[in-house]
Structures are given as structure tokens and as C-alpha cells.
Amino acid sequence: MNLLVIHGPNLHLLGRRDPEIYGSATLKELNAAIKKHAAASGARVRAFQSNSEGEIIDLLTANASWADALVINPAAYTHYSYAIRDAVEALSLPAVEVHLSDISKREPFRRVSVIKPVCLAQFKGEGPTSYFKAVDYCLGLKNKKGE
Ligand code: DQA
């Protein structure tokens, strides 16, 4: 199982950005933990972070044929990027949405996800565990070879 993990804008600041909301782990530490979690089940991970909507769409496109599933934290784009929504839908890659914080309990603008309708599941509010649960969900899906 090949998993594409995409982190959206400002997640490069993890560790120093609102640690009371997003935790103390850096992006590097988070990616290492995701890879370790996935590797324990024999899955491979390609992880990227981008602050740009167009670059996220280019990363999705470039890695879609390699990936069996997508784990995406679209960050602030969650709430308004129809472009990323359309890309996820167009690539027909099984997708799972992730958030470190519980967006349903924060400011009203964060309670809306335009990405959720094109995802199979959403995990939120559990810090890095949200990602681990998304990985586990993807591992429950069949890969492209039907394995
Ligand atoms: C976030 C929640 C978003 O509202 C916010 O813009 C982020 C991070 C999260 O992981 O909790 O950048 O996606």
C-alpha cells in the first residue's frame, strides 16, 4: 500500500505554531511518526507540505498514479478551496481528511470543510493520532492491485 500524505499551508510551522492547539511535535517529527506507523503495516509513505494551493494540486497529480490512497490535511484550504476539492475528486484517489485540532469546535469558519464531501472519512481533534487513524483507515482499503 502506497500512501500519499499532504500537509497544507502553515503546517511547516508545527512545533512553534499555537502549540496549545496543534501540539509540540514539528512537521519532521510528525512525518517520521506517520512513516513509522505505516511501515509497521508494510505501507510506504510519500509526505509533502506546501503553502500553495496550485502546488498541492500539482503534488496530487504527480503522485496519483503511485499512490493507493491519500491522507490530506488541507489546513486553511479545507474551508474554501474548491480547487483542491475538485483535484481530489478528479484524480479518483481514495482520500481521507485529517486535522490535528477539532475543527467542529473552533471558529465558525473552521467548521465548514469543502473537502469532506470528496473524502471517504475525516479524522480530527486527536493531534498526530488523527493521522495514524487515517493511515489505518487507508490500510483497510484494497490497493490498486486488489491486495
Ligand atoms: C488544521 C485546522 C485548520 O483550520 C487550520 O487552518 C490549520 C490546521 C488542523 O490540522 O487542525 O492550518 O487543518
Delimit the domains of the chain by residue range: 2-144
Q: Which fold has domain 2-144?
A: Rossmann fold (3.40.50)
What integer best gives the mean pLDDT of the chain? 96
- Please list, in sequence order, all residues whose beta carbon lies within 8 angstroms of the beta carbon of residue 1, skipping any fewer than 6 positions away: 38, 41, 42, 43, 44, 68, 69, 138, 139, 141, 143, 147
Protein residues whose CB sits closer than 6 Å to any atom of ligand 1: 10, 73, 75-76, 78, 99-101, 103, 110
Query: What is the predicted pLDDT for the residue at 92?
Result: 86
Query: What is the predicted pLDDT for the residue at 146?
Result: 64
Write the secondary structure of 119-132 as one string of H (helix), E (strand) and C (coil): CCEEEECCCHHHHH
* Among 80, 110, 129, 131, residue to substitute to test ligand 1 (most atoms within 8 Å of Cβ): 110
- What percent of the chain shows pLDDT beyond 70? 97
Query: What is the predicted pLDDT for the residue at 58?
Result: 98
Cell numbers given for 86: 475538485
Cβ neighbours, 10 Å, residue 19:
11
Residue the block writes with cell 503553502 = 51
The residue whose CA has the least distance to atom 3 of ligand 1 is: 75
Measured in degrees and rounded to the nearest 5, phi and psi for residue 86 equal: -65, -35
Check: CB of residue 92 under 8 Å from CB of residue 120.
no
Q: Extract the residue ranges of the chain whose pLDDT is less than 50.
A: none
**To 10 degrees, the CA torsion angle through 26, 108, 123, 39?**
-20
Query: What is the predicted pLDDT for the residue at 52?
Result: 98
Q: What is the DSSP letter of 146?
A: -
Residue the block writes with cell 512545533 = 15
Closest CA to 135 of 52, 18, 35, 14: 35
